[in-house]
Structure 1
């Protein structure tokens, strides 16, 4: 009986110790998450301030000074990723000098390498991130690396690759997409039409005929839409 009581007490003590350890782990994880989030927000705010100064100054000496400071702040991949997101946001939401300076910084700091690395990732969502980043920044050199992703096993990667290629190559991307036997969603078709309308490049009759011969019904429908709206010459 005494043995049973001692055993029960030991079990209770063990459970209590494990519960305390588990609670400490939760508190530690939560504290780290809060600190990490605060750190990222502070860095993001600093980058936004530096980028605003970078695009608004006309003195070359001042821009170089700001660029050097940004470089010092981006010693790790995580920091560079935060900068990339802010540069992409600047480029995507502004035009003129702002977008020009954003592209300039993007190329000078080789930020495209972050996105290119994501294309090689085994994780499909990382591939999507890389595709979106490269197309947002208009990095045309990535087009040949995105084409194979039209055949990726994940449909979200395929969909994102189609839209990105049209964004990067405009009407020239349609030949790559027309070879696909799979259908496009209405959303993808509308996205492609929107990009082509935003960047009007007329198709030749030969190009249109190739689209009409696509094994994909949705691509043939797209060809009919382009023909109907006189986007050919």
Structure 2
């Protein structure tokens, strides 16, 4: 006790800086102690919630499995299904339990397909869960909006696509992405109508994912891509060029050729790639005539095209570029020359290879 009093007395007569340091040390100690107790409480709380969630999930899974096998062909919903619906409706009134019901429905929806999958979609609406997903679309938080759109996609709710379209140019990429996936998952090529009014960039990764979704869809009716090839949004034009390649859109030949003079280099490079894939030989002469005015990537793209559409008359042009400063272009030129006349290439192979070291 006397020792503590001595410390306090010494502190009282010490300099203000030392008193401040001691004061801050005590404050930090108290804060750390409070945070430690709070973290312990939070961890225990999460464990309890996890146990409760697991318990309810098992109950709801049991209800849902019974629901799926209790249907018949005579009624939209059998009497046994109606009982389960009423029970789940009561649970759904509680936000915590509603969240578990939705996650359980999604889990089952991802595991089954066909008529049972459609039955899950109908149950989502019957339980009144649709209005909660739509309410999320009115949220001021972008992540809540994204979750709402994702739920509508997963349960294949088509009737609300006009509401979803309101987010077409949302400032957050995540929201735009969910909206785009909603439209393409549910409407395939018809869903690409958003490209007509899209003002924001469509990222490379989003383009790849949208193409994957389109290819998984059984709808073989391809949309007219010409309006998208003429879009003022360069990323939309590039995406349309990728569609032209994947779905062999030879009908868009004239517009594709026009894109060789587009103001954006990325568009021109993708246009060359699409024209090469489609073996549109008319583009070759255009590119030959202004080869030196084009960027390095465009030149490489054109020479790769020539590997598919070469003619004997191209030899003069190729020989003009056999000593190009780019090694990659030299190699491509030699490869095309080899394809044009393999015997002549074999005779002069040693001489041609010297150009690589020039």
**Range with bigger deviation, 191-200 or 136-145:** 191-200
The Cα offsets for residues 165-205 of structure 1, whole Å up to 9 and x where unpaired, read as: 2223322232222322333222211222222221324235x
| Structure 2 counterpart of 1:5, from 8, 12, 16 | 8
Gaps of 5+ in 1: none
Query: TM-score scaled to structure 2, two decimals?
Result: 0.56
**Is residue 88–residue 127 contact of structure 2 (8 Å, CA) maintained in 1?**
no
How many residues in Structure 1 have an aligned counterpart in Structure 2? 229
Instruction: State the alpha-carbon separation in 1 of the partners of residues 60 and 43 from structure 2.
Output: 26
Q: 1:224 Cα shift?
A: 3.1
Counterparts of residues 216-227 of structure 1 (less than 5 Å) = 216-227=233-244
Q: 1:14 to 1:124 in 2, by over 3 A?
A: closer
Counterparts of residues 95-134 of structure 1 (less than 5 Å) = 95-134=113-152
Query: TM-score scaled to structure 1, two decimals?
Result: 0.83
**Is residue 106–residue 154 contact of structure 2 (8 Å, CA) maintained in 1?**
yes
Higher relative contact order (CA 8 A, sep 6+): 1
**Is residue 226–residue 232 contact of structure 1 (8 Å, CA) maintained in 2?**
no
Q: Which residue matches 1:39?
A: 52
Q: 1:194 to 1:21 in 2, by over 3 A?
A: closer
Instruction: State the alpha-carbon separation in 1 of the partners of residues 200 and 151 from structure 2.
Output: 25
Larger radius of gyration: 2
Task: Specify the SS of the correspondent of 1:151.
Answer: coil
Instruction: State the alpha-carbon separation in 2 of the partners of residues 140 and 71 from structure 1.
Output: 22
**Range with bigger deviation, 149-158 or 159-168:** 159-168
Q: Which residue matches 2:191?
A: 173
**Is residue 143–residue 168 contact of structure 1 (8 Å, CA) maintained in 2?**
no
**Is residue 175–residue 210 contact of structure 1 (8 Å, CA) maintained in 2?**
no
Q: 1:19 to 1:164 in 2, by over 3 A?
A: closer
1:155 aligns with 2:173: yes
Task: Indicate the RMSD between aligned Cα atoms, in angstroms.
Answer: 3.0
1:196 aligns with 2:196: no
Instruction: State the alpha-carbon separation in 2 of the partners of residues 145 and 78 from structure 1.
Output: 26
Q: 1:139 to 1:7 in 2, by over 3 A?
A: farther
| Structure 2 counterpart of 1:143, from 155, 158, 161 | 161
Instruction: State the alpha-carbon separation in 2 of the partners of residues 136 and 23 from structure 1.
Output: 40
